[in-house]
Copies of this chain bind each other. A is one copy, B any other.
Amino acid sequence: MSHHNPGVDVIVIGAGMAGLVCAERLRRRGYDVLLAEARDQVGGRTAGIEVDGETVDLGGQFIGPGQDRIYALAAELGVAIFPTHTAGANVLETETGRVRRFRGMAPKLGPLTLLDVARAQSRLGRLARTVDAETPWCGPNAAALDGQTLQSWIDRTVKTQGGRRFLVCACRAIWACEPSELSLLHALFYIKAAGSLAAVTDVEGGAQQDRLDGGAYGVATRLAERLGAAIRLNAPVQRIEQNDSGVVVTVKDGTTWHARHVVVAVPPPLAARIAFHPPLPAARDNLLQRLPMGNVIKYVVGYPAPFWRQAGLSGAALSLRGPIALTVDSSPRSGRRGVLIAFVNGTPARDLATRSPEDRRTTLLDSLGRLFGPQAATPVSFVERNWNEEAFTRGAYSALFPPGAWTQLGSTWRAPVGRIHWAGAETSPRWYGYIDGAVRSGEAAADAVARAELH
């Protein structure tokens, strides 16, 4: 490989899962790679911290059947897989605060509401099957599906008030946004990219089935070990210049790096904030103006033991009262401690964020107490991560396509712009927004760069 410029072969921007996988794959193929990360740690949305000697995932953490690339990566790195705890009854808190146990995936709603919700889910699944996840903007109904919000579809399709409320809460749990923010086509694309609605919502047999021993963050740190000095932390990229022979990447402190190709593996709103020279083509720039991140505050709450299991509860809860959207048992594999994770998403997250830290903590613990009893209100550890406040992520779980974006600008979704390639969970037509989608996108970008290098 000849070097037209001094520097490396490829610069990858963003050491989240996509960037790590991309850089490591290129390194293994013999390319000289530099991986620039804005934070002082790798992982991106698979972040983790140590609590009482256990790594706790502050971001993405679940994997499930069909997510072959993250399973393969875990196997290769020697990261063990173990099932998410599911034994016991799930809990539903109604809007008025009544707490009911249920088994399986059908929460205790009234029979009419339940029928209404089941019919809506089945319709959504059928509609999703009509979408091609490689080119969601091309289907015969794409314009009609992309012309409306998921909220409009719910209003039209779901007849009972209880059913509508349930689906709003389900939207918050799944996409971390309000149904008003989402193009119906995007919701369908997302479901299709995951395979089915059940794949999205289920624990056993679905995307929440398994966990990574040591956390998803452990996968990131092992990849980082392999990359070693190729990773530059505390290096927020401000500018990418490209010309016929290569690219120049400028970091906040003024450092410049040269390479032949660059892979941008950061969330879309952050990619939009890099200064590109020459400027990005108008259509690509327009798409990047349109893809906001969802809204998530994740709580990781630790207890001496997973006490709810003894009470016959799984630790999984849905709340229609809020502010918690859902909880999951996230105790370490060892079972030495009990951990519940709780998500506050969408509008409840925006509302909660306006309150004081003490107030937020009290609200959360009250909420957990209602769901799991008084023991839940007296944890031994309590960690909060508001992903919207993270300057180098600016939201989670993933970027959302509002109405009109897919059908008008979809063709610019993943297409390289000269020497600039795109990666990240938002660029994968399989498992869009998931850890597995990030892995796939990193692999695909590495392969695309390698193909480009042959020319």
A residues touching B (Cβ–Cβ < 8 Å)? 143, 146-149, 151-152, 155, 177-181, 236, 238, 252, 254, 269, 272-273, 275, 279, 282-283, 285-286, 289-293, 295, 347, 350, 353-354, 386, 388-389, 391, 394-395, 402-405, 407-409
Contacts and interface: CB of A to CB of B under 8 A. Distances in A.
A286 B295 contact: yes
A291 B409 CA distance: 16
Nearest to A148: B152
Count of this chain's copies in the oligomeric assembly: 2
A151 B403 contact: yes
7 contacts: A143-B180, A147-B151, A148-B152, A149-B404, A283-B350, A285-B394, A402-B404
What 3 pairs between A and B have smallest CB-CB spacing?
A282-B388, A181-B404, A289-B292
Given A272-B273, A283-B353, 11 more contacts: A152-B152, A180-B404, A181-B404, A236-B275, A273-B275, A282-B388, A286-B292, A289-B395, A350-B408, A350-B409, A403-B403
A290 B354 CA distance: 20
Contacts of A293: 286, 289
A279 B389 CA distance: 8
A270 B143 CA distance: 28
Given A238-B275, A275-B238, A402 B181 contact: yes
Q: From DSSP, what is the main secondary structure of chain A's interface residues?
A: mixed
A272 B272 contact: yes
B152 A388 contact: no
A178 B272 contact: no
B181 A395 contact: no
B353 A149 contact: no
Contacts of A282: 353, 386, 388-389, 394
Contact of A347 (B155, B179, B273, B408): B408
A155 B177 CA distance: 25
Contact of A269 (B180, B236, B289): B289
Contacts of A395: 286, 289
Nearest to A183: B180
Contacts of A147: 149, 151-152, 155, 178-180
A88 to B, nearest CB: 35
A211 to B, nearest CB: 28
Contact of A388 (B285, B388, B402): B285
A180 B289 contact: no
Contacts of A180: 143, 146-148, 403-404, 407
Nearest to A277: B391
A146 to B, nearest CB: 6
Contacts of A155: 147-148
Contacts of A403: 149, 151, 180-181, 402-403
Contacts of A285: 388, 394
Contacts of A151: 147-148, 403
A404 B178 contact: yes
Nearest to A177: B404
Contact of A292 (B179, B290, B354, B391): B290
Nearest to A153: B152
A347 B389 CA distance: 34
B273 A388 contact: no
Contacts of A152: 147-149, 152
A366 B106 CA distance: 61
A294 to B, nearest CB: 10
A306 to B, nearest CB: 32
A375 to B, nearest CB: 32
A6 to B, nearest CB: 23
Contacts of A292: 286, 289-290
Contacts of A291: 289
